[in-house]
Structure 1
């Protein structure tokens, strides 16, 4: 007994999509490119054949454009990213084409799809992931600054845990500007670091060259740029979330942002 009478299986690759439609009357296989025009033609073909359910096997993010187009046409799509799950279904033979196998499994209701969030959730997650990538890139740049300082035997990180705090930043900028006297540099300490001036003087006694100053100057500019971008993205995401709050109030759990719920910025 068939669970779905009209269904389609898709084997999605980077450049091509192999599609197999199975209906009570026929079985048809076609190959399409992954260019937008061809994908639209494929979705139109699926719709014309009366298919209301589609299953696709894909790796990476190649499935996303197809899923978005199917979603616009109200065609239910099942994404099977776990190839192991499909291979474990009894009866598969090596000479059976993947796309026919996918369509056949879907027809009998034997596929388990991956969880795909709603469109607005997917879009917001992409924005959140990009913001997180900016934060991670800034952290990497800070680590690079640490390495440059260590290369010049500047042991600032041994005295303060926040190398780029107000005090650390001021000292680094002063070194870039040409100041080399550890005593003068230590006078730039603020708050609790004022009590560690002796340690700072020892830590700031290094050999920083002109090439290291140039690298540090560029790194600080890059960090400032990333910090500004992160602030802009935070504002943008807050705005996006405020528009979706009413919709999301009925969803649990809320999507997370770096471990914190999105409704708690």
Structure 2
């Protein structure tokens, strides 16, 4: 329910943000960028909207345990950056995905999933029954 409310809140204010980077900054999920004289200082994230940030971090934690491209991203980051920073980075990526989905009016298409193979696997038995019914394949019985 929380994720649905998040999408409604972000979707209503889409024009106010203007870009995914501004939305991430508002939510407090953009990485800190404080550099002076070639030295990197604190890379803390902003406080932002605590409710949106909390929901996205919870969703990122769940996504890190699924079989999708987001899990691969998390596994690559956790080795170098640690668990908590990887969760924030994954939440940032998810927020950018949500922004572009809502602004373009498209669905999420995971890069690691072959949707065509899933459709064939799901419908193959029904297609074979129809081919047998209409006489294109011999009846195995």
TM-score range, shorter chain: 0.3 to 0.5
Tell me: higher relative CO, structure 1 or 2? Use CA pairs within 8 A at least 6 residues apart. 2
More strand by share: 1
More helix by share: 2
Give the TM-score normalised by structure 2. 0.35
Give the TM-score normalised by structure 1. 0.22
